[in-house]
Amino acid sequence: MKKERVAVIGSGNWGSAITRIMANNVIEHGNLFERDINMWVFEELVNNRKLTELINEKHENVKYLPGYKLPNNVRAVPDLIETVQEATILVFVVPHQFVLKVCEKLKGKISSDVKAISLIKGFHVSESGLKPITHVISEYLNINVASLSGANIANEIADEKFSETTIGYTNVKEGELFKILFQTKYFRVGIIDDVVGVELCGALKNVVAIGAGIVDGLKMGDNTKAAVIRIGLLEMRKFMQTFYSGIKDETFFQSCGIADVITSCYGGRNRKVAEAFVLTKKPFEQLEKEMLNGQKLQGTLTAKEVYQVTKRKDLEKEFPLFTTIYRIAYDGLAPERIVKDIV
């Protein structure tokens, strides 16, 4: 049987943490996978050195996941096309705003029997509305695309603290293969027949996490945050079931659903920056630069994208939490309205 060769497209905080896991797993399951993994790095200078050179020399992503070694079978590659050459499995893990450019570059260069999985939490805005990222990749590259999403704060997983995740598959054999690629003793993988449900939970929970950060900035307490989590989860389900078909209720009880909402509302970057937004009154864009050292927020952009769709369909009032979060982030609405406008 021909072995699978994995290439990773992305190398941020999560991209690097998950690549460490895959790099160990491909060795452990050497009967199924080739040993070497190429990881595409969006090239930049760090202390006047190319990041790819630093990663390959130190076996560590010194900018996006400092302090954690990458196994020697990972090679950082600045050229996207070179990264995917010979790969039979593509793992997409770039911030969602960059995925289209990546797909445009890869178009026509990927064989139709290549398998792919997206770990990206976000949507793509198209004329017809918000398109799941798995559909964008699938349409551009003409390949089947699964999704992986869960309560997965990257640094905690790099620390090998127990976590769960969810893989959404269309083809159960592929789902099981991906499970072997990602699962470890401390990183437990559930699989479910709901690609879009899994990925859209990951996209929308980032908006709820902005709401949780606003509540934290206002020091409103745990009951208020729990209310935002509960209402947020209901709006996530309503949004997904209004605009997409085949979303399973069961998906919301997997790691990608309720668990990711909770961890993101307590520990994530969106929460942290939204709290600072309330405390400092600085714009999100400025805080992202000041606080995240090149890492990217997904929740503010997704809040705007969700609002554009609900407004276009005259449905803003059906999603009072999402709408209020958008207005606080972009329209100068007072943060205190986070609770006043949703009851």
Which are the catalytic amino acids?
205
φ and ψ at residue 302, rounded to 5 degrees: -65, -35
Q: Distance between CA 14 and CA 197 in Å, rounded? A: 20
Closer Cβ to ligand 13P, 254 or 264, answer by number: 264
Q: Tell me the closest approach of the beta carbon of residue 32 to ligand 13P, in angstroms.
A: 27
If one asks whether residue 339 binds ligand NAD (CB under 6 A), the answer comes out as: no
Closer Cβ to ligand 13P, 151 or 321, answer by number: 151
Residues 6+ apart with CB under 8 A from 202: 120, 121, 122, 147, 149, 150, 256, 260
Q: Tell me the closest approach of the beta carbon of residue 296 to ligand NAD, in angstroms.
A: 4
**Exposed, middle or buried, 51 (CB in 10 Å: 0-12/13-18/19+)?**
buried
Q: Please state the separation of Cα 181 from the chain's center in Å.
A: 18
Please check if 197 is assigned to a binding site. no
The footprint of ligand NAD on residues 262-301 (CB under 6 A) is 294-296, 298
Please check if 13 is assigned to a binding site. yes
119 binds, among ligand 13P, ligand NAD, none (CB under 5 to 8 A by kind): ligand NAD
Please check if 12 is assigned to a binding site. yes
If one asks whether residue 257 binds ligand NAD (CB under 6 A), the answer comes out as: no
If one asks whether residue 154 binds ligand NAD (CB under 6 A), the answer comes out as: yes
Output the CA–CA distances (angstroms, integers) from residue 94 to 8, 30, 174, 243, 293, in the order listed.
10, 27, 21, 24, 16
Q: Tell me the closest approach of the beta carbon of residue 148 to ligand 13P, in angstroms.
A: 11
Q: Distance between CA 1 and CA 280 in Å, rounded? A: 58
Residue given tokens 């592929």 in the structure block = 174
277 binds, among ligand 13P, ligand NAD, none (CB under 5 to 8 A by kind): none
Closer Cβ to ligand NAD, 191 or 227, answer by number: 191
Q: Distance between CA 19 and CA 3 in Å, rounded? A: 18
Q: Distance between CA 251 and CA 169 in Å, rounded? A: 12
Q: Tell me the closest approach of the beta carbon of residue 102 to ligand NAD, in angstroms.
A: 7
Taking CB positions, which residue lies at the least distance from ligand NAD? 12
Q: Tell me the closest approach of the beta carbon of residue 111 to ligand 13P, in angstroms.
A: 31
Please check if 11 is assigned to a binding site. yes
Binds ligand NAD (CB under 6 A): choice among 20, 122, 158, 198: 122
Q: Distance between CA 64 and CA 62 in Å, rounded? A: 6
| Selected range binding ligand NAD among 6-14, 22-30, 139-147, 279-287, rule: CB under 6 A | 6-14
Detail the DSSP E strand segments found in 103-259: 115-118, 123-126, 129-132, 145-149, 163-168, 187-192
If one asks whether residue 119 binds ligand NAD (CB under 6 A), the answer comes out as: yes
Binding site for ligand 13P (CB under 6 A): 121, 151-153, 206, 209, 260, 263-264, 268-270, 298
φ and ψ at residue 131, rounded to 5 degrees: -100, 135
Please check if 327 is assigned to a binding site. no
Please check if 75 is assigned to a binding site. no
Q: How many CB atoms sit inside 10 A of residue 249's CB?
A: 11
If one asks whether residue 13 binds ligand NAD (CB under 6 A), the answer comes out as: yes
Please check if 270 is assigned to a binding site. yes
Q: Which residues are annotated as a binding site for substrate?
A: 121, 269-270
